[in-house]
Amino acid sequence: MHKVSDIASKCGQFSQAPVQSLMPLPAPYDRIADLPPRKVLNQKVLDKIDTSLDGFSALGLARPQTRKEEQKFVERFLSGLEKLLSKENNWTFIEQLKLSLEHCARCQTCVEACPIYTASGHDEVYRPTFRSEVFRRLVNEYAKPGGKALAWLKGEHVELNAATLGRLLESAYRCTLCRRCAQACPMGVDNALLTREVRKLFSMEMGIAPKEIHEKGSMLQLRTGSSTGMNARAVRDNVSFLDGEIRDQTGLRIETPWDKEGADVLLIHNAGEILAWPENPMAFAIILEAAGISWTMSSELAGYDSVNYGLWYDDAQFARVAVRQAEAARKLKVKKIVLGECGHGHKASMVTADRILTGDLNIPRESALVLLRDIVISGRLKLDPSRNDFPVTLHDPCNMVRMMGIVEPQREILRAICPQFREMTPHGVNNYCCGGGSGFAIMSGYNFEDWRFSVAGRTKLKQILDAFADCPSPDVKKYVCAPCSNCKGQFRDLFQYYGVWEKSGILYGGLAELIVNAMADINQPFIKWEFH
Amino acid sequence: MLTVMLISVALVVFLAGNLVRVVKFLRMPSPLRWELYPIPKGPQERQRYGGSYFEDSDWWTKPRASSHKSEAVFVLKEVFLLRGVWENFRGLWLWSWLLHWGLYLYLLITLFAIGEALLPADAGALVLHAALIYGYRLACPLGLAGALGMLAMRSWHPRVRAFTTRTGIFDLLLLGSIFATGNLLLTTGPDGLHSMIRGLARFPTRLGNHSVTWHLHVCLVAFFLAYFPFTHMTHAYMKYFMWHQVRWDDSASVHDPYAAKELAVNLQRKTSWAAAHIAAGGTAAWSEIVADADGNGAGKRA
Residue that wins the pLDDT comparison between B30 and A194: A194
Q: Are A435 and A473 in contact (CB under 8 A)?
A: no
Contact B57 A374 (CB under 8 A): yes
Q: Average per-residue pLDDT in chain A?
A: 96
Q: Please check the confidence at residue A312 and state whether its pLDDT lies above 70.
A: yes
Residue A42 lies in a domain: no
Last residue of a domain, one of A206, A234, A266: A206
- Of the candidates B292, B295, B299, the one whose C-alpha atom is nearest the C-alpha of residue A219 is B295
- Of the candidates B172, B171, B186, the one whose C-alpha atom is nearest the C-alpha of residue B138 is B186
Q: Please check the confidence at residue A525 and state whether its pLDDT lies above 50.
A: yes
Phi then psi dihedrals of residue A522, to 5 deg? -100, 125
DSSP A433: P
Residues A59 and A140 in one domain: yes
Residue that wins the pLDDT comparison between A65 and B193: A65
Q: Which B-chain residues 34-93 have CB contacts (< 8 A) with chain A? A: 34-39, 46, 49-60, 78, 82-85, 87-89, 92
Q: Average per-residue pLDDT in chain B?
A: 88
Residues whose CB is less than 8 angstroms from the CB of residue A155 and which lie 6 or more positions away in sequence, other chains included: B165, B166
- Is the peptide bond prior to B38 cis by the omega test (within 30 degrees of 0)? yes
Domain B2-31+82-230 CATH superfamily = Transmembrane di-heme cytochromes, Chain C (1.20.950.20)
Return the SS3 of A439.
Answer: helix
For residues B137 and A148, give the distance between their C-alpha atoms in angstroms, rounded to a whole number. Answer: 42
Residue A19 lies in a domain: no
Lowest mean pLDDT among A386-390, B74-78, B109-113, B298-302: B298-302
Contact B163 A404 (CB under 8 A): no
Phi then psi dihedrals of residue A506, to 5 deg? -100, 125
Residues A96 and A155 in one domain: yes
Residue A199 lies in a domain: yes
Provide the domain limits for residue A132.
Answer: 49-206
Last residue of a domain, one of A206, A233, A251: A206
Q: Which amino acid is at B30?
A: S
Domain CATH number, residue A191: 1.10.1060
B237 touches chain A (CB under 8 A): no
Q: Which of A89, A94, A374 would you mutate first to test chain B, the one with the most B CBs within 10 A? A: A89
What confidence tens digit (pLDDT) does each residue in A364-408 have?
Answer: 999 999 999 999 999 999 999 999 999 999 999 999 999 999 999
Using a CB-CB distance cutoff of 8 angstroms, which residues of chain B are in contact with residue A79?
274
Label residue B302 by pLDDT band (50, 70, 90). Answer: very low
What distances in angstroms separate CA A274 from CA A84, A283, A514, B58, one per listed residue?
37, 11, 17, 27
Is the alpha carbon torsion for A485, A491, A493, A494 positive or negative? positive
CA angle A163, A168, A174 (to 5 degrees): 130
Q: Are A115 and A178 in contact (CB under 8 A)?
A: yes
Q: Please check the confidence at residue A199 and state whether its pLDDT lies above 80.
A: yes
Contact A374 B234 (CB under 8 A): no
Lowest mean pLDDT among A18-27, A229-238, B217-226, B285-294: B285-294
Residue A24 lies in a domain: no
Q: Please check the confidence at residue A292 and state whether its pLDDT lies above 80.
A: yes
Contact A405 B295 (CB under 8 A): no
Residue A523 lies in a domain: no
Distance from CA of B162 to the nearest CA of A (A): 6
Q: Which amino acid is at B56?
A: D
The pLDDT of residue B186 is: 82
- Three-state secondary structure readout of chain B: CHHHHHHHHHHHHHHHHHHHHHHHHHCCCCCCCCCCCCCCCCCHHHHHHCCCHHHCCCHHHCCCCCCHHHHHHHHHHHHHHCHHHHHHCHHHHHHHHHHHHHHHHHHHHHHHHHHHHHCCHHHCCHHHHHHHHHHHHHHHHHHHHHHHHHHHHHHHCHHHHCCCCHHHHHHHHHHHHHHHHHHHHHHHCCCHHHHHHHHHHCCCCCCCCCCHHHHHHHHHHHHHHHHHHHCHHHHHHHHHHHHHHHHCCCCCHHHCCCHHHHHHHHHCCEECCCCCCCCCCCCEEHHHHHHCCCCCCHHHHC
What confidence tens digit (pLDDT) does each residue in A3-27 have?
Answer: 899 999 987 889 888 888 999 999 9
Domain CATH number, residue A311: 3.40.50
The pLDDT of residue B127 is: 64
Q: Please check the confidence at residue B298 and state whether its pLDDT lies above 90.
A: no
The pLDDT of residue A223 is: 94
Using a CB-CB distance cutoff of 8 angstroms, which residues of chain A are in contact with residue B82?
186
What confidence tens digit (pLDDT) does each residue in B81-112 have?
Answer: 999 999 999 999 999 999 999 999 999 988 88
Q: Give the one of A89, A185, A403 whose C-beta lies nearest to B84's C-beta.
A: A185
Domain ranges of chain B: 2-31+82-230, 268-301
Torsion, CA A10, CA A11, CA A15, CA A20, rounded to 10: 180
- Residues B250-263 as b/e (b if ≥16 CB within 10 A, e otherwise) read bbbbeeeeebeebb
Query: What percentage of chain B reaches a pLDDT higher than 70?
Result: 88
For residues B67 and B38, give the distance between their C-alpha atoms in angstroms, rounded to a whole number. Answer: 13
The pLDDT of residue B117 is: 72
What confidence tens digit (pLDDT) does each residue in A410-459 have?
Answer: 999 999 999 999 999 999 999 999 999 999 999 998 999 999 999 999 99
Query: What percentage of chain A reaches a pLDDT higher than 70?
Result: 100
Residues A199 and A218 in one domain: no
What distances in angstroms separate CA A170 from CA A60, A65, A81, A132, A483, one per listed residue?
9, 18, 17, 13, 29
Q: Please check the confidence at residue A307 and state whether its pLDDT lies above 90.
A: yes
Residue A129 lies in a domain: yes
Q: Are B44 and B252 in contact (CB under 8 A)?
A: no
Using a CB-CB distance cutoff of 8 angstroms, which residues of chain B are in contact with residue A372?
none
Q: Label residue B90 exposed, middle or buried (CB < 10 Å: 0-12, 13-18, 19+).
A: exposed
Locate the DSSP E strands across A322-463: 336-339, 365-367, 392-394, 421-422
Count A/B contacts: CB-CB distance under 8 Å.
258
Residues A80 and A154 in one domain: yes
Using a CB-CB distance cutoff of 8 angstroms, which residues of chain A are in contact with residue B88?
109-110, 112-113, 184
The pLDDT of residue A27 is: 94
Mean pLDDT, residues B179-200: 76
Using a CB-CB distance cutoff of 8 angstroms, which residues of chain A are in contact with residue B159?
108, 111
Residue that wins the pLDDT comparison between A253 and B119: A253
B266 touches chain A (CB under 8 A): yes
Contact B242 A189 (CB under 8 A): yes
Residue A418 lies in a domain: yes
Using a CB-CB distance cutoff of 8 angstroms, which residues of chain B are in contact with residue A99?
25, 238, 241-242, 246
Q: Which amino acid is at A250?
A: T
Q: Are B154 and B114 in contact (CB under 8 A)?
A: no
Relative orientation angle of helices B166-188 and B212-227, to the nearest 10 degrees: 140
The pLDDT of residue B300 is: 58
Using a CB-CB distance cutoff of 8 angstroms, which residues of chain A are in contact with residue B64?
none
The pLDDT of residue B2 is: 77
Residues whose CB is less than 8 angstroms from the CB of residue A164 and which lie 6 or more positions away in sequence, other chains included: A7, A8, A134, A138, A158
Q: Would strands A478-481 and A392-394 be described as parallel, antiparallel, or unpaired? A: parallel
Q: Please check the confidence at residue A269 and state whether its pLDDT lies above 90.
A: yes
Q: Give the one of A184, A323, A405 whose C-beta lies nearest to B84's C-beta.
A: A184
Q: What is the ipTM of this complex?
A: 0.96
Q: Which amino acid is at A419?
A: P
Phi then psi dihedrals of residue A383, to 5 deg? -115, 140
For residues A444 and A57, give the distance between their C-alpha atoms in angstroms, rounded to a whole number. Answer: 9
DSSP string, A391-424: -EEE---HHHHTTT---HHHHHHHHHH-TTEE--
Mean pLDDT, residues A333-348: 98
Contact B274 A76 (CB under 8 A): yes
Contact B158 A1 (CB under 8 A): yes
For residues A493 and A500, give the distance between their C-alpha atoms in angstroms, rounded to a whole number. Answer: 10
The pLDDT of residue B282 is: 85
Residue A35 lies in a domain: no
B238 touches chain A (CB under 8 A): yes
Contact B37 A429 (CB under 8 A): yes
- Residues A255-281 as b/e (b if ≥16 CB within 10 A, e otherwise) read ebbbbbeebebbbbbbbbbbeebbbbb
Is the alpha carbon torsion for A480, A484, A485, A490 positive or negative? negative
Structural domain total, chain A: 3
- Of the candidates A321, A288, A297, A307, the one whose C-alpha atom is nearest the C-alpha of residue A232 is A297
What confidence tens digit (pLDDT) does each residue in A187-197 have?
Answer: 999 999 999 99
Phi then psi dihedrals of residue A422, to 5 deg? -135, 150
